[in-house]
Amino acid sequence: MTVYFLRHGQTQGNLERRYIGSTDEPLCPQGRRALDGILAPAADALYVSPMLRCRETAAALYPGMEANILPGLRETDFGTFEGQTYDELKDNPAYCAWLDAAGEIPPPGGEGKAAVRHRVLNAFLSAVEGHGEEERLAFVVHGGTIMTLLEALEDSRQFYRWQAPNGGGFRCRWQNGALSEVEEL
């Protein structure tokens, strides 16, 4: 099966380099315009995070196609770090500890990496179940969701290798419980 992971278009929080996980913000005007030039890969089924920015991106890239909304595909909840930038947080001891632990400990009031991995993997596995080998599935999700899935299901096991720009993403093969043949879109 061919799987496409597409990151949502740009938001104001993305422009300002803020931690925007559970904040349900829309695409910004620049983000909407940038999506106009993107030719989305053909898909037989479309799976989307429930966050507004992903729903708007899916509607722009796949107009008229039914979007299957999966709550488990949402972005990490950054807790008290939500809406802030690195510069605003860099002197916060809890933030420094979170960075030092590579996200394995949760931010205050937020989700740790293991909880996110569990949630996102369950949502992905439920989505691919029952689809045939020749089908093409598109997932319009978040950067952190994409990185989590590829780290968990692709051989390199490297989280930061899979950073996608807004409106960008990856094409993969899903077979035998793993993602392979990963190509940047």
How many whole angstroms separate alpha carbon 161 and alpha carbon 24?
26
Instruction: Decide if pLDDT at 37 tops 90.
Output: no
How many whole angstroms separate alpha carbon 183 and alpha carbon 185?
6
Q: Choose the weakest-confidence range: 30-39, 45-54, 67-76.
A: 30-39
pTM: 0.95
Instruction: Decide if pLDDT at 69 tops 90.
Output: yes
Closest CA to 137 of 57, 48, 51: 48
Q: What is the mean pLDDT of residues 99-116?
A: 95
How many whole angstroms separate alpha carbon 23 and alpha carbon 4?
24
- Angle between the 29-36 and 52-61 helix axes, to the nearest 10 degrees? 30
Domains annotated for the chain, with CATH where assigned, are 2-184 (3.40.50.1240)
Q: Are 81 and 99 in contact (CB under 8 A)?
A: no
